[in-house]
Structure 1
Amino acid sequence: MVSRQDNNTSPNELYLDVSLLQSLSDTAKWGKVLAVLGFILSGFILLFGLFMQQMLKSPGMEERAADVGLSGFTLVVYGFVALVYFFPSLYLYNFAASMQQGVQERSRQKVGKAIGRLRILFKFMVIMLLLFLVLFAVSLVMLATGVTSLEL
């Protein structure tokens, strides 16, 4: 990034040279590829959940699945995982599309909007990571205390 001060520019303005704009454009392209792959993976996770649901309903597995309580729960879990993976992919896609448009048009407002969308992605990821860490800690405590199931 190159900061430049001329007589008719504000010291708070930021100017990007061609190589940095190219790097932002390349980053946005790879972000879009990663987002599309994330959408595809979310779809595969959901399809796998449907497959597991059908497999657990097959003869011979039906009794075992009912004993463990997996018959209806499997689709819910896979659906939840697919949904959780879908949102970061969506936020990444929004960032990439906005960044590509901003760089192509050389629009400071659109690049700023893209950075804002990247910030939303990072916030989502931090929240999800903290939730998973809390769940992991709870499971470790349950494991350490020997609690295997909640009795209501």
Structure 2
Amino acid sequence: MIHNPITQLEQLTITKASKNFLKETAKWAKFLSIIGFILIAIMLVFAVFATTIFELAGKMQPGMPASLGLTMTVTYLVLAIIYFFPVYYLLQFSNKMKTALSTKNDETLAKAFEMLKSHYKFIGVFTIITMSLYALLIVVAVFGGL
């Protein structure tokens, strides 16, 4: 009898050990997402006060660019928005995984893994973009210095 790989995957069962690993993973995911949301809140608070902070710093340190506060505000707002999505996906993974394991619901389990996939996909794409920007910066620095 020839087994279809898709049929074999559909019959995949979660053992007690796997269930415990997934429970623990969901707990750590929740912890990391809470820390992530706290850091986002700190970024937003800094973004709100950055203009005032850098305006005061400019008075104490002559020569500081006047637009630095606005630049920092925009930067921290953009970073908070970017950081929100992977943290949100991680929290959703945690909540859905806990629900799926307690209710033994396959659809909720699939949604949990979908959120985990979204989290890692976002992190992966962001990493590629960041590395590309670094490579571009290096090329500009090397050829701009000639």
* Class of the TM-score when normalised by the shorter of the 2 chains: 0.7 to 0.9
TM-superposed CA distance for 1:146, in Å, is: 2.8
Q: Partner amino acid for 2:143?
A: T
Identity of aligned residues (%): 27
Q: Could you tell me whether the CA contact under 8 Å between 2:86 and 2:122 is conserved in 1?
A: yes
Distance 1:62 1:56 in 2: 11
TM-superposed CA distance for 1:96, in Å, is: 0.7
Q: Partner amino acid for 2:55?
A: K
- Specify the alignment match of 2:65 in structure 1: 65
Q: How many positions carry a matched residue from both structures?
A: 136
Any idea what the Cα deviations from partners look like across 1:21-73, whole Å, max 9, x if unmatched?
A: 1111111011011001000011112222334321111133575222xx41311
Distance 2:143 2:47 in 1: 32
SS at match of 2:69: coil
SS at match of 1:89: helix
SS at match of 1:65: coil
Distance 2:14 2:72 in 1: 50
TM-score of the pair, normalised by structure 2: 0.84
How large is the RMSD of aligned CA atoms in angstroms? Answer: 1.8
- Specify the alignment match of 2:93 in structure 1: 95
Q: Partner amino acid for 1:37?
A: I
For residues 6-45 of structure 1, what are the structure 2 equivalents within 5 Å?
11=8, 12-45=10-43
TM-score of the pair, normalised by structure 1: 0.81
Any idea what the Cα deviations from partners look like across 1:72-128, whole Å, max 9, x if unmatched?
A: 111000111111111110010011110010001111211111111111111111111
User: Per residue, is there more helix in 1 or in 2?
Assistant: 2
Which of 118, 121, 133 matches 2:116? 118
